[in-house]
Structure 1
Amino acid sequence: MPENNNPLVLVTGGSGFIAVHIILNLLAKKYRVRTTLRTLDRQDEVRAMLRSGGISDVSSLSFIQADLTSDTNWKNATAGADYVIHVASPTPNRIYKDEDEMIRPAVEGVLRVLRAARDAGAKRFVLTSAFGAIGVGHRHHVGPYTEADWSNTDANIHPYQKSKTLAERAAWRFVQQEGKGLELATVNPVGVMGPILGQDYSHSNDIVRQMLEGKLKAVPKIYSDYVDARDVAELHVLAMTRPEAKGERFIASTAENLSTLQVANILRKHLGDDAKNVPKKEVANTIVRAAAIFNPKLRMIATLLGQDLSTSNEKAKRLLGWRPRSAEEAIVATGRSMIKVMKGHMK
């Protein structure tokens, strides 16, 4: 059994792609972990994902039911926690009738967890924010973006990106005005790739799935930065423990700006016949924008066309000694694990 004096970390949204990688990292470092689930029916699924990630001993892990839209159980969830890592957030994969359906749970949810963490006496709160809170809504920006930048919520940006921006701003405001000593750090990942451990994975990975399945005959002309989920997890733990991280934002990125076609080329280079359906050409921006009028799933992509989305990772490297894997390694890891998921080899 784990020693009772090992620090306890609350990780919200424990079934999510990034959250599972964070839990893996924490358990490997001998932390005690408590994680929230909207429904406890997913406990076995989370344990299975952890086994896929190489952790067989989950005796230091416990589950508690809690939802961002309700006060129920957050006091119990944060009780005794030394640290809180807040990962849970509405997903961009769902289609919402109104942007408030995405924005309100994100903002109210982060404030709900912050209050509970403060009242429980947690030392530091690490918020999983996003590049969407840094680098969207600036049509004429010339990169790379840094942690000093904020997305323009007055521009035509996707509700998911607006929700991440407003939630992070609300978190900083809360800690400044009502935190009573609670420390805050944020991690702002770009497109998250890396090993998929089950049926739950990031929206960035979904593009790889569509490529491998042959659902995309051509790819949009978007240039994005990427990062491996394992490195995102490591950056969260550094942001949680390092004194230098107090009050700081950190972009999680390899700082390699790749077109979606370059991502496709990497998949074909490494995956052989499994990548036979991966597209080899790009689609014109005008076609994507026209299709987005009728297809809500394309609307976030349409707002990113023609944008400079490059980022700097110098701050995380300089302050915390963070050293991420290459974008190519992250993309290949996504592709190989996605193939296992698609073939039904990962239950």
Structure 2
Amino acid sequence: MNTNSNTEKLVLVTGGAGFIAVHCILQLLKAGYRVRATLRDLNRGAVVRAMLREASLEAGDRLTFIQADLSGDAHWEEAVKGCTYVLHVASPTPKLDFKHEDEMIIPAREGVLRVLRAARDAGVSRVVLTSAIGAVVYGHPKQTAPYDETFWTDTTHAPAYQKSKTLAEKAAWEFMTREGGSLELSVVNPAAVMGPVLGPDYSHSIYLVRNLLSGKMPGCPKINACFVDVRDVADLHLRAMVDPKARGERFIASGGESIWLVEVARILKENLGEAADKVKVKQLPNIALRIAALKDPMVKSMIPLLGIPMNLTSAKAINRLGWSPRSPQEAILAAAESLIRLNLL
């Protein structure tokens, strides 16, 4: 990327303290862009700068913060002002204690529309939306062929968080068709996000590695997943932001073929020496998960996934945008090593 031509360009990153967002900010700054990040609480700005320093980058005045919340209109007009691009990474995180699924669905959908409307009105050239494979893989008949971007989750058979991601992404595409004007949209749908943690904020996928390393998991449920490194997710956001071939397209971000969770345990056990002493490389019987699901809503959301192949293909991102992701093993080990190094177990 030609950094010289980027120095005048300002990029807005929403939800600036999030795991994927911080890695996006890091790569944008390295590529020469100026970055403005939205935070619900401006005190979190210091945390973001500390995470960037953990990655050996001093942001200085090329990074600024603005207070904005997806649930309200305040400050969005100001947030997008003067921006060439917007990376809309912010999303309500999975809630476990919700009374009704609308507590996740409405903020996700309304938040996306708020950002798109503000971006269109400010003359932003393109928005890249962080969706999820939760908007792709749920509610289909069992299949062995990998899922690609033509699949959409059937929301009648999806847990609340995945339903919120699906409905928010669909709302974004409908907005673009109906009233997008000259604004362009690209979407990134990451698999389970691993890779290096820069501080105490990280994706809920990484709790799997943390719980295995700390011995909290007595074994692994028979669940299949694709994994991707957060550095590659950020890289794909930047490619989707500038490449003309990304306009109006969605891209699955997966580091390779899906693996069973017991394989994740094995990767940790075989590569981390005594740091992985507490990892149990053991397949749990399905009945154990069903019993645990009676008390734990997070476990309950896994039940529909038991024994189901969840393979994805990122051929579109690789062939069209020249994306080249790390392997799942590298992503998993990078997450584990950073948790150990930062004493976050």
Name 2:326's counterpart in structure 1: 325
How much is the aligned-residue C-alpha RMSD, in angstroms?
1.5
Counterpart residue identity of residue 267, structure 1: L
Name 2:174's counterpart in structure 1: 173
Aligned: 1:141 with 2:158 = no
Tell me the distance in 2 between the aligned counterparts of 1:72 and 1:94. 28
How does 1:1-347 map onto structure 2 within 5 Å?
A: 6-92=8-94, 94-155=96-157, 157-342=158-343
Shift, 1:178, TM fit: 0.7
Shift, 1:294, TM fit: 1.8
Shift, 1:279, TM fit: 1.2
CA 209–54 in structure 1, closer or farther in 2 if over 3 Å, else same: same
Tell me the distance in 1 between the aligned counterparts of 2:243 and 2:108. 26
Question: Which deviates more, 265-274 or 314-323?
Answer: 265-274
Counterpart residue identity of residue 147, structure 1: E
Among all aligned residue pairs of Structure 1 and Structure 2, give the percentage whose two residues are the same amino acid.
Answer: 53
Tell me the distance in 1 between the aligned counterparts of 2:341 and 2:46. 19
CA 34–256 in structure 1, closer or farther in 2 if over 3 Å, else same: same
Shift, 1:125, TM fit: 0.6
Tell me the distance in 2 between the aligned counterparts of 1:334 and 1:5. 31
Shift, 1:277, TM fit: 0.7
Structure 1 residue runs of 4 or more that deviate by more than 4 Å after TM superposition:
2-5
Tell me the distance in 1 between the aligned counterparts of 2:258 and 2:190. 14
Shift, 1:343, TM fit: 5.4
Tell me the distance in 2 between the aligned counterparts of 1:263 and 1:172. 35
CA contact (8 A) 2:52 2:59 kept: no
Unaligned residue ranges in structure 2 (runs of 5+)? none
Partner SS state of residue 210, structure 2: helix
Question: Which deviates more, 298-307 or 309-318?
Answer: 298-307
Q: Once the two structures are superposed, what CA deviation does each residue of 1:280-318 show, in whole Å capped at 9, x if it has no partner?
A: 101111221232122112122222112221001100011
Tell me the distance in 1 between the aligned counterparts of 2:338 and 2:60. 22
Aligned length: 342
Q: Once the two structures are superposed, what CA deviation does each residue of 1:154-183 show, in whole Å capped at 9, x if it has no partner?
A: 11x211100000000000000110101110
Partner SS state of residue 50, structure 2: helix
Partner SS state of residue 309, structure 2: coil
Tell me the distance in 1 between the aligned counterparts of 2:300 and 2:82. 42
Shift, 1:131, TM fit: 0.3
Tell me the distance in 1 between the aligned counterparts of 2:183 and 2:337. 41
Counterpart residue identity of residue 211, structure 1: L
Partner SS state of residue 324, structure 2: coil
